[in-house]
Copies of this chain bind each other. A is one copy, B any other.
Amino acid sequence: MDLETSRGEGRRSRRRRDKRKEASAQSKTRSQHAYRQLRNPYPPVAQLSEDQIEAIHRASLTVLEEIGIKVLLPEAREIFAAAGADVDEAAQVVRLDRALVMESIKSAPSKITLTARNPERTVEIGGNAVTFATVGGTPNVTDLQGGRRPGSFADFCALLKLAQTYDVIHLLGPATEPQEIDPRFRGLDMSYAQLTLSDKIPFVYSRGRESVADAFEMIRIAHGVSEQAFPTQCFCKTVVNVNSPLQLDVSMALGIIDFARCGQLCIVTPFTLAGAMAPVSLAGALTQQNAEALAGIALSQMTQPGAPVAYGGFTSNVDMRSGAPAFGTPEYAKAAFASGQLARRYRLAWRSSNVNASNAPDAQAAYESQMSLWSALFGGANVINHGAGWLEGGLTASYEKFVIDIEMLQMFAELFEPLSCEDAELGLDAMREVGHGGHFFGAAHTLERYQNAFYEPLVSDWQNHGAWLEAGGEDAAKRAHNIWKQALAEFEPPPMAEDTREELDAFVKKRKAEGGAAPPE
């Protein structure tokens, strides 16, 4: 394969394209395409046979029937009991008859519209719709210049700005934990930042009733809707993690209940690491995941039939030598494919993740992330949480990984675009024009199409080795560093009406004066 020759051709025709180059080099931080409501055209890959899916389904119902789920919140146990579950109050264990589970989850919607305050950012979840969220909840952040450190509010805001910058991000994740802020005020500041620095779908932590109520009120103000209208549309999302195995703690159960009552999206995600918090066999971990997800979704629907809810899958494995969690492994990919099948078994939207266990934004981070993304997206995922920025198995948000992830997500967004085989695209005239052994750089067919023919990368550097070295010889992580710095320097917040902002300010001021939100019990 004579690549030198092809590069030579490139060099010869480069002069002609100088103008183009100048134009598109103006901002390296943006992309040429809008990546709003993505649709995945590929039918989902099946990991398991229908019989195998039914085996997991039946076993998970047996788990709920025989072992049950421990529910620490009395109010949640009351809702379960009222719906007909067998509740052992002394043990705090709820056992659910298989028919009750299936009857309860029937009301869960298959498609959910998430309404953003900028209508262009409104997205659908379910079917073949795909949405990407940023990383969430890391205790630490890292970047090549500043090193690894505890997450701060400045980092939370910087990562929000990056989330707002890139069209391929549809949903805000809670990025990193602003550790210096008193937990009683943290939710207020996080909601305020999300609503003023971005016009995309905000994330709300399920950290107690007061905190959730504050967030809902701020979102209501930002959208300018009435208290009556608020529960009729879905404006935000939370994630409820089951404390695997088979336990739902107080704030998580409260989250399910409060989000259901207010019509906001709750993604129930068991954290089933095979070999640690779930059986070492993948089928066992999937069975437990399914039981836990169905229990949470049942609670949501028992609270409010039709409440927006999604099936979260997070099954991975640990390193059996050290107990360390692993992500983006072959086992992770199989579990992702199977989780998609399970979610579709119940006609639920499915949430997966873009995860890895690397300590640096290096080749490992990229190949583990790709394993996660391909298995999620070709498994038919509707929501990819931790879509950009996750490193170290979620203990750190990396600025450089964030940008590298944006590149990867944009590549999938492009992959989802159809490939036209219309007559003119088959190129017969171009081949007639060029003939044998020539090249297509100057062909009419090329000139008509070159500007939008191909995805233009954000991070990838395709220069030859000499030119790359001359330009500094920076690897992908270093280039990503330059890109996020430039993106932050260029950032402009989305517009917000002055009176809306004043109302938000006043609300935050008032709630802080009242002492903020009580921490979860």
Q: Which of B56, B446, B460, B461 contacts A421 (CB 8 A)?
A: B56
Q: Does A338 contact B (CB under 8 A)?
A: yes
Please measure, in the bound complex, the distance between the C-alpha atom of A395 and the C-alpha atom of B453, giving whole angstroms: 25
Interface string of A427-449 (1 = CB under 8 A from B): 11011101111111101011001
- Contact of A324 with B462 in the complex, beta carbons under 8 Å: yes
A179 contacts B by Cβ under 8 Å: no
User: A319 to B462, Cβ gap below 8 A?
Assistant: yes
Determine if B450 and A1 form an interchain contact, defined as CB atoms under 8 angstroms apart: no
CA distance in complex: A455, B246 (Å):
26
* Given known A-B contacts A288-B431, A450-B320, A395 and B276 have beta carbons under 8 A apart: no
Contact A246 B283 (CB under 8 A): no
Select from chain B the residue with minimum beta-carbon distance to A395: B3
Nearest B-chain residue to A71, judged by Cβ: B436
* A238 interfacial by beta-carbon distance below 8 Å: no
**A496 touches B (CB below 8 Å):** no
A279 touches B (CB below 8 Å): yes
Q: Which residues of B contact A62 (CB under 8 A)?
A: 428
A145 at the interface (CB under 8 A from B): no
B45 touches A247 (CB 8 A): no
CB distance B462 to A47 under 8 Å? no
* A363 proximal to B (CB < 8 A): yes
Task: Give the distance in Å from the alpha carbon of A3 to the alpha carbon of B440 in the complex.
Answer: 53
A397 contacts partner chain B, Cβ-Cβ < 8 Å: no
Selected contact of A275 from candidates B24, B330, B394, B440, CB within 8 Å: B440
User: A415 at the A/B interface (Cβ < 8 Å)?
Assistant: yes
8 Å CB contact of A367 from B271, B392, B404: B404
Q: Which chain B residues border A281 with CB–CB below 8 Å?
A: 420, 424-427, 445, 449, 453
Interface membership of A280, Cβ < 8 A: yes
Q: Which of A14-44 contact B (CB under 8 A)?
A: 14, 17, 20-21, 24, 42
Contacts of A283 in B (CB 8 A): 419-422, 425-427
Return the chain B residue nearest A13 by Cβ.
B323
- Do the beta carbons of B317 and A438 come within 8 Å of each other? no
Taking a contact as CB atoms under 8 Å apart, the answer to whether B67 and A445 are in contact is no
A284 to chain B, nearest CB (A): 2
Output the least CB separation between A48 and chain B (Å): 7
Which residue of the partner chain, among B45, B276, B334, B366, contacts A439 with CB atoms under 8 Å? B276
Contact between chains at A428 and B370 (CB < 8 Å): no
Q: Are B245 and A394 closer than 8 Å at their CB atoms?
A: no
Binds B, one of A161-169, A228-236, A352-360: A352-360
Which of the listed residues A6, A396, A422 has the most CB atoms from chain B within 10 Å of its own CB? A6
A55-B359 in contact given A243-B437, A364-B476 (Cβ < 8 Å) = no
Within A452-470, the residues touching B (CB, 8 Å) are: 453-457, 459-465, 468-469
With beta carbons under 8 angstroms apart, the residue of B17, B282, B331 that contacts A321 is: B17
Is A148 an interface residue when CB atoms closer than 8 A count as contact?
Answer: yes
Contact of A322 among B10, B52, B393 (CB under 8 A): B10
Cβ–Cβ contact B366 & A441, under 8 A = no
Q: Give residues 126-159 of A contacting B (CB, 8 Å).
A: 137, 139, 148
List A residues 52-70 near B (Cβ within 8 Å). Answer: 52, 55-56, 59, 62-63, 66-67, 69-70
Closest chain-B Cβ to A117's Cβ sits at a distance in Å of 28
A326 at the interface (CB under 8 A from B): yes
Residue A371 CB within 8 A of the other chain? yes
Q: For A428, give its contact among B287, B325, B392, B426 (CB under 8 Å).
A: B287
Q: State whether B323 touches A1 (Cβ < 8 A).
A: no
Q: Provide the residues of chain B in CB contact with A2, threshold 8 Å.
A: 271
Question: Does A445 lie within 8 Å of B363, measured CB to CB?
Answer: no
CB-defined A-B contacts under 8 Å, sample of 9: A7-B325, A67-B432, A245-B437, A278-B427, A284-B426, A324-B462, A359-B465, A367-B367, A395-B465
